[in-house]
Structure 1
Amino acid sequence: MKMGSINSFKDQLLSLAKKLLPYVIYSLLPIALLRLYFNPLAFLPSAETELPHSSLITVASYSSYSSPPPSAEKERTFETPCDYFSGKWIPDKIGPLYNGTTCGTIKEGQNCISHGRLDMGYLYWRWKPSECNLPRFEPETFIQLLQNKHLAFVGDSMARNQLESLLCMLATASTPNLIYRNGEDNKFRRWHFPSHNISVSVYWSPFLVEGIEKSNTGPNHNELYLDQIDEKWAKDLDRMDLIVLSTGHWFLHPAVYFEGGSVFGCHYCPGLNHTEIGFYDVLRKALRTTLNSIIERRGGKGSGLDVIVTTFSPAHFEGEWDKAGACPKTKPYRNGEKELEGMDAEMREIEIEQVEAAKKNAIAKRFGGLRLEALDVTKLALLRPDGHPGPYMHPFPFANGVQERVQNDCVHWCLPGPIDTWNEIFLEKIKKWKGQLMSEE
């Protein structure tokens, strides 16, 4: 064959190939798609050659404080946690979930509506965090998440205040039965929700550690044993699944402090010849003892326990609390109008600090199944001078006209009232924990 003929033949073949190429590709594409559909892993690299050995550990081997599986870690890097501490109060037309006449668990002194408070504006505000939204409380969701569990509120009267708020909110979905009461003013009580087998308790322990409260017949000071947890509630630790701790205000009272069986100082105790000590370090010691005792008693047992520390809730007395001090404001402070400072800031900082220290302690001891977190409500509480009972801690205080001296409560919160927000945030933390648990399974 001549050279010209060969070149002509090659040109014809090349032209034919160019014409047939699209048809070949179109015919192979469906075959490839079918293979991908029925065997998707065939196109991926071998798992044995690509995955690190550590990722083959089973999920069950991870504790609450261990590094999460690689897939869970990847998902969490995109989560933006909500900072509930930062925000402002905004008007809300809907109002509270319950009222003071439909809930039978409210302490009389906080039932502002039944005691004759007429200005209802304090009920129509919602907390709006700066970078996220705080959902309204969902009682059905809370009850489902706490099914078959024991929730305990431990601490001072703020613990009781938050507990009664929660019970009133939950009662809109399921009625609790009071099954136990004991102590002066029923300071130890327990309710049961038969619909979901939930127990909710309150334990009076204003210092969390062992303490002897002053009395009318004894010394005019409290006694605190800062290295001993209060067994009145700690003896039931093995029966608790979720604990809410609340303390702070009682540390402002005169007290003598013991450690190692000996007095090491006091707060405002003239005439006793003890070293004067500020209450900040005493609060720090009490929280450290409490949280470390919980870790030691429950951390190594493998059974789950969640611990929440509700941060300090500021008072709003204008004037001295024991000298006709009052809280007459009827609206929240505007954002920036009132700054967190002084004692309120210091008390909050100590509580946050001790929660973080306890977390590190639990990790160092490799105690799984134990979670600790702060319920940081100090700033949002600071901005609500309008939410306290004030003179309505007593029924109809102005029924006989305006009195020259009327005792006011500017520490606790009306129910319903701003403290309901504490429990809205509480629910969000429980939901977050549940989501983390599911992502690790």
Structure 2
Amino acid sequence: MMTNTYTLKYKFTKNIIPSIFYIFPPIALICLYFYSHSFAPFFTLITHYSPLPASTPTEIEKAYEKTCDYSIGKWVHDKREPLYNATTCSNIKQSLNCISNGRPNTTYQYWRWKPSECNLPMFKPNTFLNLIKNKQIAFVGDSLARNQIDSLICLLSTTSTPQGSQHKGSTKWYFPSHNANVSIYWSPFLVKGEQRKNKGPNYNTIFLDHVNEKWANDINEMDLVVLSFGHWFMVPSIYYEGDSVLGSHDLKFNYPKIGFYVPFRKALRTALNSIIDGRGNNSSKGNNGIDVIVTTYSPTHFEGDWDKGGTCSKSEPYENEEKKLEGMDDELRKIEFEEVENAKVKAKEFGGIRFEILDITKLALLRPDGHPGAYMNPFPFAKGVPKHVQNDCVHWCLPGPIDTWNEVFLETMKKWDQRSQKEK
């Protein structure tokens, strides 16, 4: 009996137990397969929502604060059609309607700005309109400010039709779909001044310490203001400060010759201070705050003197190596950066006022092909080549490179909105 029992145990140990080691791995694999597929979503959910280490939020915040520098990049070919044209947008001025005026070369429309550090998305009209819903947006400045807002209205009109109107020194477009107002105030100096005239004084008279009240009086109604100026300071001028003459530019009068850099800086500082003083000390709307953007100086591309037959005949953008940012263009841009930084410091004591630079100087510098040139007038060569042809190498064809300014503008607003949502 004991022999049989021993024999059975021996056989079990020798035959059955070793078999388990061969059978177990496939069984385990089968079980693991069904187990993982049954519970995979659950474990994915846990992994996705599991708390992050204590140090991670700081790293995320650092990454979040790092934004793309849209001013550094290059122009690359793009086959996409512009979002609008002269047929779909009635807001294009005749002098900027280059194709309708007979410009034969249309390739200037097929370039896009490629920043070195990131991508610049195409302009999304609905996104912009959602960001300005129930708000008042104001552009203040010269004809380049008007050029930019004309581009913006054309871009937005592809989604929502605005209602245009005139109001005491400003032109406004109302978008009923979003209860949003976009307006332009003509103020080429930002401060108080008289432009030179064809009949009368052939120089500007500019009061550097008095803001232009045509726009400053409406500052409490604005949620965002975009300042854009500079070109009128190149014209012969007399500058006043404290009701006495500070100096002059390009005039033979017996006044100190101070050029235009110092007056340009003083005018911008006066404008920014007036916004800070007006909104920082106003409790009625101070809680809502105000955003301020300064569009940097837009270079010209005259080949020769602008008033002596200068042209802009190039048909393609410059390469980065071809054209460097230097001289007057660089100096005016630096002044704008410095004054915006100074304004940020002053505004800290009030809160609710945000300043930003819309840095378009470099990307505009590389686009000599984007101006109307001779096609600021309809078909200038229809009757042959005249002896004298007026050229516009300051403003930009629509559609054209200036649409990129509004793409960067939108990215700035999106960044602000993301920060606001984060703070909430």
Give the TM-score taking structure 1 as reference length: 0.81
Q: 1:73 to 1:294 in 2, by over 3 A?
A: farther
Aligned length: 372
**Unpaired runs of at least 5, structure 1:** 1-36, 45-49, 51-69
Contact kept? 1:100, 1:112, Cα under 8 Å: no
2:367 equivalent in structure 1: 384
1:239 equivalent in structure 2: 221
2:403 equivalent in structure 1: 420
Tell me, yes or no, if structure 1 residue 280 matches structure 2 residue 261: yes
Aligned pairs for 1:28-427 (under 5 A) are 75-79=60-64, 80-180=66-166, 188-270=170-252, 272-300=253-281, 301-363=286-348, 366-427=349-410
In structure 2, C-alpha distance between the alignment counterparts of 1:302 and 1:72, rounded to whole Å: 29
Q: Percent identity of the aligned residues?
A: 60
Tell me, yes or no, if structure 1 residue 429 matches structure 2 residue 412: yes
How much does 1:395 deviate? 0.5
Counterpart residue type for residue 277 of structure 2: E
Contact kept? 1:310, 1:374, Cα under 8 Å: yes
Task: Name the SS of the counterpart of 2:75 in structure 1.
Answer: strand
Task: Name the SS of the counterpart of 2:152 in structure 1.
Answer: helix
Counterpart residue type for residue 102 of structure 2: G
In structure 2, C-alpha distance between the alignment counterparts of 1:98 and 1:264, rounded to whole Å: 46
Task: Name the SS of the counterpart of 1:372 in structure 2.
Answer: strand
Q: 1:71 to 1:191 in 2, by over 3 A?
A: farther
RMSD, aligned CA: 2.1
1:63 equivalent in structure 2: none
**Unpaired runs of at least 5, structure 2:** 1-45
In structure 2, C-alpha distance between the alignment counterparts of 1:420 and 1:380, rounded to whole Å: 12
Counterpart residue type for residue 244 of structure 1: V
How much does 1:182 deviate? 5.9
How far does the alpha carbon of each residue in 1:243-292 deviate from its partner, in whole angstroms, 9 at most, with x for none?
1100111111111111111111111121x211111100110111111101
How far does the alpha carbon of each residue in 1:101-126 deviate from its partner, in whole angstroms, 9 at most, with x for none?
22111111111111111211000000
In structure 2, C-alpha distance between the alignment counterparts of 1:226 and 1:164, rounded to whole Å: 28
How far does the alpha carbon of each residue in 1:300-328 deviate from its partner, in whole angstroms, 9 at most, with x for none?
42321000000000000001111111000
In structure 1, C-alpha distance between the alignment counterparts of 2:377 and 2:153, rounded to whole Å: 22
Q: 1:314 to 1:367 in 2, by over 3 A?
A: same
How much does 1:72 deviate? 7.5
The answer to which of 78-87 and 168-177 deviates more is 78-87
How much does 1:218 deviate? 2.3
In structure 2, C-alpha distance between the alignment counterparts of 1:182 and 1:227, rounded to whole Å: 23
How much does 1:404 deviate? 2.4
Q: 1:71 to 1:294 in 2, by over 3 A?
A: farther
In structure 2, C-alpha distance between the alignment counterparts of 1:74 and 1:230, rounded to whole Å: 45
2:28 equivalent in structure 1: none
In structure 2, C-alpha distance between the alignment counterparts of 1:423 and 1:367, rounded to whole Å: 29
Contact kept? 1:229, 1:290, Cα under 8 Å: yes
How much does 1:214 deviate? 1.7
